[in-house]
Structure 1
Amino acid sequence: MNFIKNIFENTKPYVQKGAKYHWLHSVHDGFFTLFFVQKNTSKSGTHIHDYIDLKRTMGMVVLALVPAILMGMYNTGYQHFKAIDELASTGFFEIFLFGLLKVLPIIIVSYGVGLGIEFVFAQIRGHEIQEGFLVSGMLIPLVMPVETPLWMIAVATAFAVVIGKEVFGGTGMNIWNPALVARAFLFFAYPAQMSGIKVWVAGSQATDAITCATPLGDAASGVISYTASDAFFGLVPGSIGETSTLAILIGAVLLIVTGIGSWRIMLSTIAGGAVMGLILNAFAGSASLSEANQVFFAIPFWHHLILGGFMFGAIFMATDPVSGSQTVSGKWIYGFLIGILAVLIRVVNPAYPEGMMLAILLMNTFAPLIDHYVVQGHIKKRLKRATVSGRTA
């Protein structure tokens, strides 16, 4: 590592302001701080810096995503060979390798386009490279169907970085979760490529023989063909990283233990989804419901927690520290409402059976308002106590 560090130290004078390659300063600094901690101190106030900076925090989130990434790669190959009826004759490594070769280009395009734009904005503004895209660059591929064309991944990533983040000032200033902005952009701009029975299985665009819907898509048509265990372990069609509840929960444990992710938001989101599921179960037998709606209303509440992108959204999307609620009480309210809305949207509207994306984006919008009223509530309580204490005195 000292050899690498020496390379950065020796080339640093060439990228300083006024030097020949000064336009590469942000790129040089970004790669240096990816591996090493800067020797900077504050110009005023506290001079002690925690070694757990933003890059290390983002790196921990990426590490927590690894189980979902690996399971997503395996499931991509699993669904492909299952659809062409060759699963029994295909080994584990062949299945995983197929998925790896399908998913890796999507990840490369996401990081290539996103980081490229980040570098340009950082250099233009004369700022350090923002580290937030280390996570967004991985989240974007994981919330996409495996058959999403690479050019669409590139366009969506560019839209998410420029419109979803940079126009607000960059990392730490964005209103909405950038990865969900990318997915929402594709969903509304190219609905044909983001829905239907072929987008979930790799190779389905090459032949009409492969047709497969997600468990939520099946439920919308009045049929449930996947078991709860399939959904929990992730052996079902769906977006690359959203299918395996087990892999997602492993990541959740890492985020909670390290203090990176808010367990309050995770728990309240799950609680909100469960409560809404129970409420809707109570109306499952209503004669006014259509057949498709009756199937959705009758789904056990805990099934909602392991279907679609609910758990992935609760663990990795809703807990975004920038676009989510900041106050302790606000986190409970924010997460609970996300769970309520996600299940409500998917059940009441069978035409759009996955509501987690819309629920999180909507609550991202209202998160500052939630925090505002929480803070104002605390202020009023303290003023009231101060007034009572003053009168008593």
Structure 2
Amino acid sequence: MRAIKKPLFMKQKLMRKVIYSLIPIVIASVYFFGLRALVLMVWVVGIGTATEWFFEKRYNKPISEAVIVTCMLYTLTLPPSTPFWIAAVGIMFGIIFGKEVFGGFGRNVFNPALVARCFVYVCFPEPLTIHWVKSATGFPGGFGVWLTESIDAVSQSTPMLIFRETSQTESFARLFIGNIPGSLGETSALLIILAAIYLIYTKSASWQTMIGVFMGYLLMSTTLYILGASTIPNPLFGLLSGGLLFGTVFMATDPISSPMTVEGKWIYGVLIGIVTVIIRGYALFAGGIMFAILIGNTFAPLIDEGVKIYKSSRKKVTA
């Protein structure tokens, strides 16, 4: 008999919806920062897919479509001028140590895209925190150049870095539209919000987690801001900058590394929001959201277990 050939990719409708939601953000990244953004995306997807294939072929298992999502999310958190070799090293580390060491798709404790991003952030701080480029405006924007003009001065850096250095804030209009220096996919609040609406409407992401993050962030940020903490910016400014929206919508809602219970998602989201403010205001890292989500990933199983124990105890009391 003729052997049945297994498909190269595992069909995952949920992952495809996430990819669809990311397409406008990818197009915008090219418009804002140049054609290099698209080439970098293709490069990372190729390296990440090949890395997962190398591990899965031993068990004759197909590649998960989730790896494409991981690669896209990771690339969109990188500065536009990130060297190709650093991007490749990061995604390989994320796939191997954030996913494969736990047994592959569905078994990972941490979000692989964030594992990759944190790895390159810590190991290669200069290209990941210092070298930024200007955002294009007008037509054809970045579609007519390889990479937009470089920025050297701190006073023209990303909004969060500028605030940490000078306490100055960017206009809300520019933060909302996205024509500001920053990582490839984290600048446009408008597109990220539209993606969130699509994901919630198609039931592809947890709205409880998203709202939980915003609640935790606004509660902690507003409290410290009112108390006069100099390292805490205006809560609305902080909400629209530093990758908070992107991390909340696409990273914190990862169904594998976040809690399964509804109550757990609320607790998990609030925890991430609070920790983000603390890291931003009192640690070395301007963003904070990626480290906060990884901390949330660590506690996700415990949160679910705690919720189940609480529910079980309540049933015994009412019985």
On whether the aligned pair clears a TM of 0.5, the verdict is yes
CA distance in 1, matches of 2:38, 2:156: 22
Equivalent position SS for 1:242: coil
Shift of 1:134: 2.2
CA contact (8 A) 2:133 2:148 kept: no
Q: CA RMSD in A?
A: 2.1
Tell me which amino acid in the other structure corresponds to 2:174: D
Aligned pair in 2 of structure 1 residues 208, 242: CA closer, same or farther (>3 Å)? closer
Residue number among 205, 208, 213 corresponding to 1:264 in the alignment: 208
Contact 1:204/1:210 (CA < 8 Å) preserved in 2?
no
Distance in 2 (CA, whole Å) between partners of 1:282 and 1:208 is: 34
Q: 1:110 to 1:384 in 2, by over 3 A?
A: same
1:200 Cα deviation after fit: 4.2
1:234 pairs with 169, 172, 178, which one?
A: 178
Residue 212 in structure 1 maps to residue 145 in structure 2? no
* Structure of greater Rg: 1
The match for 2:24 is 67
What TM-score, normalized to structure 2? 0.91
Number of residue-to-residue matches in the alignment = 307
Corresponding residue number in structure 2 for 1:30? 8
**Counterpart of 2:282?**
348
What residue in structure 1 maps to residue 141 of structure 2? none
CA distance in 1 between counterparts of 2:51 and 2:298 reads 25
Deviation at 1:199, TM superposition (A): 3.0
AA aligned opposite 2:156: C
Q: How does 1:128-167 map to 2 (within 5 A)?
A: 128-167=62-101
Cα deviation digits, residues 67-120 of structure 1 (max 9, x gap) = 2222222221xxxxxxxxxxxxxxxxxxxxxx2x21112111111111112222
| Matching residue of 1:199 | 132
In structure 2, distance between residues paired with 1:211 and 1:373: 46
In the TM superposition, 1:306-385 aligns within 5 A as: 306-349=240-283, 351-385=284-318
1:55-204 paired onto structure 2 within 5 Å:
55-76=12-33, 99=34, 101-196=35-130, 198-201=131-134, 202=147
Question: 1:318, 1:107 → 2: CA distance?
Answer: 21
- SS of residue matched to 1:153: helix
Higher RCO (C-alpha 8 Å, min separation 6):
2
Contact 2:48 / 2:68 at 8 angstroms: preserved in 1? Answer: no
Equivalent residue number for residue 276 of structure 1? 220
Q: What letter matches 1:343 in structure 2?
A: V
Amino acid at match of 2:162: D
Out of 109-118 and 356-365, give the one that drifted further: 109-118
Name the SS of the counterpart of 1:224 in structure 2. coil
